């Protein structure tokens, strides 16, 4: 005898991977996007891809944007995240098509909001962003981009032009079967409040930030 969950007395296997749940129009100050909502069954996170125009399948302009409440919502100058999100959305509209995947669960390079705030407090005392995470006994970067690749597969995207300064994003997409035809720099002018943070990202996390050489006067 069986029931809807499988053989009597046994649990049905849990779903894995990413599942498209909803597609809704999202008019924004940048333009009219389609907000495609996903459930990541592996982590339990709800994710969204903002799709603009007719994206096709090859060389699609994309951004994988890690959730950053302080930067994206509050305009924090501790990082450049909010400005990068703004620039990416503007870029896909200017291009005429593209995708911005907003990756929840990536707060603080994966350590979570409260831990990120603790790390920021340590940085205010003189530690850099890498040292602060390690001082808290946390990983420097625990983000996973498999869900983003899964979203691209679902949307029929085979190759992308990736807006990023972080080589690990490119490596992750390639590892999950998405060709990266080009890496498009997303360089935001630094300010006094984030220059140390950005230099640490370049020197210790291998981010490609050549524009920092022109602002040696900032400390």
Q: Which residues are catalytic?
A: 141, 143
The answer for residues whose C-beta is within 8 angstroms of residue 79's C-beta and 6 or more apart is 68, 70, 71, 194, 197
Neighbours of 13 (CB within 10 A): 8
Cα distance between residue 183 and residue 164, in whole Å: 7
Dihedral through CA 34, CA 28, CA 90, CA 102, nearest 10? -60
- Measured CA to CA, the distance from residue 149 to residue 174 in angstroms comes to 9
CA dist 141 and 125 (Å) reads 21
């Amino acid at each position: 005898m069986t029931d809807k969950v499988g053989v009597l007395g046994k649990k049905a296997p849990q779903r894995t991977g990413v599942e498209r749940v909803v597609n809704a129009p999202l008019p924004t100050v940048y333009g009219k996007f389609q907000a495609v909502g996903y459930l990541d069954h592996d982590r339990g996170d709800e994710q969204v891809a903002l799709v603009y125009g007719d994206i096709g399948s090859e060389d699609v302009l994309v951004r994988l944007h890690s959730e950053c409440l302080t930067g994206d919502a509050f305009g924090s100058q501790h990082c450049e995240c909010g400005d990068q999100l703004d620039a990416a959305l503007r870029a896909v509209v200017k291009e005429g098509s593209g995708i911005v995947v907003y990756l929840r669960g990536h707060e603080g390079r994966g350590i979570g909001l409260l831990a990120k705030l603790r790390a920021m407090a340590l940085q205010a005392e003189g530690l850099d962003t890498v040292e602060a995470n390690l001082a808290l006994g946390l990983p420097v970067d625990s983000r996973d981009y498999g869900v983003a690749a899964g979203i691209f597969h679902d949307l029929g995207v085979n190759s992308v032009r990736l807006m990023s300064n972080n080589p690990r994003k490119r490596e992750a997409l390639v590892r999950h079967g998405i060709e990266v035809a080009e890496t498009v720099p997303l360089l935001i002018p630094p300010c006094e409040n984030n220059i140390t943070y950005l230099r640490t990202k370049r020197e210790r996390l291998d981010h490609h930030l050549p524009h920092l050489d022109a602002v040696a006067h900032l400390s």
